[in-house]
Amino acid sequence: MPASDPLPPTHTPGPARAPEGGGGLSSTLPGWDLADLYGGMDDPVLESDLTAARASAAAFRERHLGQVAALSGADLGAAIAAFEAISETLYRIMSYAQLLHAVDQTDETIGRFHQGMQEKVTDISSLLLFFTLEINQLDDETLADKLTAPALNHYAAWIRTVRAFRDHELPEAMERLIHEKEVTGRAAWVRLFDETLAHLRFDIDGQSRTLTEALDQLSDTQRSRRESAARAIGAELAANARVFAHITNTLAKDKQIEDTWRRYPHALASRNLANQVEDEVVEALVTAVRDSYADTAHRYYALKARWFGQERLATWDRNAPLPDAEDRRYAWPEARDLVLNAYGAFSPRLAEVGQRFFDNAWIDVPPRPGKTSGAFAHPTVPSAHPYLLLNFMGRSRDVMTLAHELGHGVHQVLAAPRGVLMSDTPLTLAETASVFGEMLTFRAMLNAETDPKRRRTLLTGKVEDMLNTVVRQVAFHEFEYRVHRERREGALSEDRLSAIWMDVQRESLGPAFDFDDSYRVFWGYIPHFVHTPFYVYAYAFGDCLVNSLYAVHQAGTVPDFQEKYLDMLAAGGTLRHTELLAPFGLDARDPAFWRRGLGVLTTFIDELEQLA
């Protein structure tokens, strides 16, 4: 998304923890209360906010259009503050509509409301597009002089982010056209994807299941039940593959057209720029992970096949519990306490912020028909608080998902004082607190376990989560990159999309697997490809970053590590990854950084081989 666009992403920092299913059924699980945003779709405050935002945006345009260059530093700082206030109101409105829609994407009334709010907010925000365009027309010397004013210097980090896009912006009339057509273009295709998935039902052994329930069954202890779920998912996705292929082709072509007009050199360039990470850093990450396939995924899944007494695994065995593992289920209070205690052992401040999500109705926990699958954290606006969405089924992976999303939520709370324009972090750094929260929780559970069998179960769960977060996400990245590259030559058929999918799956997962036809269309349900192109490498970035960061913590070589860590989270979007990692002696530009991160994964696999 261009930095000049005042609309927030649908789900920030992403629509799900990782494209792996998981959830649970219980009427006792807590839901969220959105009243801290608005009291309902008919709340008069909502209409009042829309009216006030429209009037403020029109007045702002009348006052500043064509005048930004003439403003003093102090006056430009005041103008940005006014721009930020309008943006906060629009963010609040859209956050409410998005969260309401997320818990029931099959409700037509909610769907119309969400669409209506999106259209109204888009119309209002289009009046503001000129502002960042005019900021970017200032030459460096003029801007540097203005930045001596404290009121403007306060926004220096935001201005730096805005100006990163200056070479890729278009004239205002074109920017407004692209912006206003979003609701009938890209956003409409995203909504079609979301609502199609929400309406799907999977016939598993005569029972109708939602996507969340079907994906959860892929972790069942009974192989026959896993197979039934996998075949049902494959059959239903295949029945809808024409729709998913059309959405994929349309959005890839839409991105190609806009990238061409904006003069981006390759399909990944805009995402890297938004993530504030250099192309060569992403290339180093992807290369390091791909080079590790044999020593990570291939080695682990060969070990798992031996545990299962099989020469090769089926795809529905990938996340299966070990044959002798207990089918351990965690009650919600138990999961909550595990995560908060792990957070508290590291930092009481971290646990105190996390506790707020449970003391208040800030989490929607139970799976329901129509609810979006997966999990996410939405920051909403600094004047309110984040909300977390889960689909909790009580498995150990769901405990890790809670630890992950709570990490996002705590990060967003700590960064909120930076304000709407500077609290949001790039996707790569947004995954730091979430993956770190998982690591804290896992280490606490592992350290408390003395039984060798249960310890192996915990280790296998962590290894599989890391493989899903690192290897699998880089494989997803490769799939996405190849799709966008081939789309430049013409539309891809359903069979071609499936062929690319199978190629990257075979390469990443390795020779321990048999891949049957039911798996060919599993690309169809991955939301990240649709919601946020090239999001997925951020998971691998975050996991390897956290592994290196946690190694520093364990080594005890950085004084006041906890305080520095919380300062890093509180920085929000004001610092780049090089600046944030410097206090810990880490540098993501160094290839050794990624090898160190991957080394944590290989060490866990070493331990599992010894336990075996």
pLDDT single digits (tens) 287-312? 999 999 999 999 999 999 999 999 99
- DSSP assignment letter at 267: T
How much is the pLDDT for 314?
Answer: 97
pLDDT higher than 90, residue 32? yes
Give 82-104 pLDDT, tens digit per residue: 999 999 999 999 999 999 999 99
Give 561-587 pLDDT, tens digit per residue: 999 999 999 999 999 888 999 999 998
CA-to-CA distance for 226 and 215, rounded, in angstroms? 9
Q: What are the backbone dihedrals phi and psi of residue 526, each rounded to the nearest 5 degrees, phi first?
A: -75, 110
Per-residue pLDDT band for 148 (boundaries 50, 70, 90) equals very high
pLDDT higher than 50, residue 7? no
| C-alpha torsion sign, points 528, 531, 537, 543 | negative
CA-to-CA distance for 418 and 11, rounded, in angstroms? 19
Q: What average pLDDT score do residues 40-45 get?
A: 97
Helix (H, G, I), strand (E, B) or coil at 392: coil
Q: Model's pTM, two decimal places?
A: 0.88
Read off the tokens for 348. 């009481």
Which residue has 């850093």 as its token pair?
281
pLDDT higher than 70, residue 18? no
How much is the pLDDT for 22?
Answer: 37
Task: With beta carbons less than 8 A apart as the criterion, state whether 519 and 3 touch.
Answer: no
Report the range of poorest mean pLDDT among 6-15, 113-122, 159-168: 6-15
pLDDT higher than 70, residue 281? yes
Fold of 34-170: Butyryl-CoA Dehydrogenase, subunit A; domain 3 (1.20.140)
Cα 591 to the center of its chain, rounded Å:
24
Give 458-481 pLDDT, tens digit per residue: 899 999 999 999 999 999 999 999
Amino acid at 260: T
Task: With beta carbons less than 8 A apart as the criterion, state whether 23 and 213 touch.
Answer: yes
pLDDT higher than 60, residue 183? yes
Task: With beta carbons less than 8 A apart as the criterion, state whether 76 and 153 touch.
Answer: no
Q: What average pLDDT score do residues 353-372 get?
A: 96
Q: Is the link from the previous residue into 6 a cis peptide, with omega within 30 of 0? A: no
Rounded to 5°, the CA angle 157-163-169 comes to: 150
* Average pLDDT along the chain: 92
Task: With beta carbons less than 8 A apart as the criterion, state whether 377 and 99 touch.
Answer: no
Q: What average pLDDT score do residues 222-245 get?
A: 97
CA-to-CA distance for 524 and 579, rounded, in angstroms? 38
- Which are the contacts of 284, defined by CB distance < 8 A and separation ≥ 6? 589, 591, 594
Amino acid at 367: P
How much is the pLDDT for 452?
Answer: 83
pLDDT higher than 60, residue 262? yes
Task: For the chain, give every domain's residue range.
Answer: 34-170
How much is the pLDDT for 11?
Answer: 37
Q: What are the backbone dihedrals phi and psi of residue 551, each rounded to the nearest 5 degrees, phi first?
A: -65, -40
Give 490-518 pLDDT, tens digit per residue: 999 999 999 999 999 999 999 999 999 99
Angle between helix 332-346 and helix 348-359 axes, rounded to 10 deg: 150
> Dmax over Cα atoms in the chain, in whole Å?
75
Q: What are the backbone dihedrals phi and psi of residue 494, each rounded to the nearest 5 degrees, phi first?
A: -60, -40
- Which are the contacts of 333, defined by CB distance < 8 A and separation ≥ 6? none
Per-residue pLDDT band for 27 (boundaries 50, 70, 90) equals low
Task: With beta carbons less than 8 A apart as the criterion, state whether 182 and 115 touch.
Answer: no
Which residue would you say has higher pLDDT here, 533 or 590?
Answer: 533
Tell which phi-psi region holds residue 383, choosing left (phi > 0), alpha (psi between -120 and 50) or beta: alpha
CA-to-CA distance for 264 and 170, rounded, in angstroms? 12
How much is the pLDDT for 589?
Answer: 82
Cα 3 to the center of its chain, rounded Å:
18
pLDDT higher than 60, residue 390? yes
- Which are the contacts of 161, defined by CB distance < 8 A and separation ≥ 6? 3, 276, 573
Q: What average pLDDT score do residues 428-433 get?
A: 88
With a pLDDT cut of 90, the percent of the chain lying above it is 86
How much is the pLDDT for 469?
Answer: 92
CA-to-CA distance for 321 and 160, rounded, in angstroms? 48
Read off the tokens for 407. 């990490």
**Element containing residue 50 per DSSP (H, E):** helix 44-64
Helix (H, G, I), strand (E, B) or coil at 532: coil
With a pLDDT cut of 70, the percent of the chain lying above it is 95
Q: What average pLDDT score do residues 514-535 get?
A: 95
